[in-house]
Amino acid sequence: MSIETPRDVERLFLQKVAEYNRSEFEKRRNELHLTDLTSECMRQVWFEKRDPLPDEPENLLRMWEGSMMHQMPLLDEHELELEFEGVKTRIDEYGNGILIEKKFVGFIPRTFDELKKYYSHYIKQVEFEALILTANDREVKKAYLLFVCRGEPEPGRYPVVAFEIPINIEEIASRFAETVEAYKIVLSSENPPDIPRGFTPFDYPCSHCKYRGRCFGR
């Protein structure tokens, strides 16, 4: 690509970011990943697997930034790739019975109640990761969610906050089995599932979803 104008420099950067994300996306498209199971919308996962739309520059940058931020290791086993019951995952950090899942976010929860209100899908992710680690002969003694703020935190909020996530493997195992079964049925269908009850185009997650136009026609 020849570079003759500032717009060419912008295009070059976005093209490289898109290439960086695309190879990972194409690999994951044909597999069931833990982050699929913890998505807030099965319909969105169906679109991502069966009929995806390209990402807007904002999304591409957010994904790229996220992968760059994950690069620094904290424990012995970093970016650990595991599989259980046909579900693949990459565990951020594991070592000596400790699991840490890192999240780089704009809003940092202050209390466990806020964590449950805004990030229940991340709690579910850590629980399922603990199960997958256990199934792969790695005992989980403690599991944590670590939040690191992207940019300026809101006044009164600390930029780095960790929460311990309680783990009950038996209870998690039964929820995991039900969730995997439900996803396998949905993803084998030729049509996407209905819009979940109570979802509106103006509220999260639809307000941030690239499929909003398909679902709500605007």
Q: Which of 32, 37, 41, 126 binds ligand SF4 (CB under 6 A)?
A: 41
Rank residues 159 and 196 by Cβ distance to ligand SF4 and give the closer one. 196
8-state DSSP, 10: H
How many whole angstroms from its chain centre is CA 146?
A: 14
Residues 188-217, mask of contacts with ligand SF4 (x by CB under 6 A): -------x---x-----xx--x-xx--x--
CA angle (165 as vertex; 160, 166 as ends), nearest 5: 160
Rank residues 109 and 192 by Cβ distance to ligand SF4 and give the closer one. 192
Q: Which of 44, 89, 125, 179 binds ligand SF4 (CB under 6 A)?
A: 44
Q: Which of 43, 49, 103, 138 binds ligand SF4 (CB under 6 A)?
A: 43
Q: Quote the least distance from Cβ 39 to ligand SF4, whole Å.
A: 9
Q: Is the peptide bond before 192 cis (omega within 30 degrees of 0)?
A: no
Cα gap 162→70, rounded to integer Å: 16
Cα gap 55→68, rounded to integer Å: 18
146 binds ligand SF4 (CB under 6 A): no
Rank residues 32 and 45 by Cβ distance to ligand SF4 and give the closer one. 45
Size of the site for ligand SF4 (CB under 6 A): 12
> Residue 125 corresponds to which tokens in the numbers above?
């992710």
Q: Quote the least distance from Cβ 160 to ligand SF4, whole Å.
A: 29
At position 50, the amino acid (one-letter code) is R
| HSE of 44, CA atoms in CB hemisphere, 13 A | 20
> 90: part of which helix (H) or strand (E)?
strand 87-95
Rank residues 98 and 195 by Cβ distance to ligand SF4 and give the closer one. 195
187 binds ligand SF4 (CB under 6 A): no
Rank residues 157 and 212 by Cβ distance to ligand SF4 and give the closer one. 212
Q: Quote the least distance from Cβ 206 to ligand SF4, whole Å.
A: 3
Cα gap 218→215, rounded to integer Å: 8
Which residues, including other chains, have CB under 8 Å from residue 49's CB and lie 6 or more apart? 29, 30, 36, 187
Binding site for ligand SF4 (CB under 6 A): 41, 43-44, 47, 195, 199, 205-206, 209, 211-212, 215
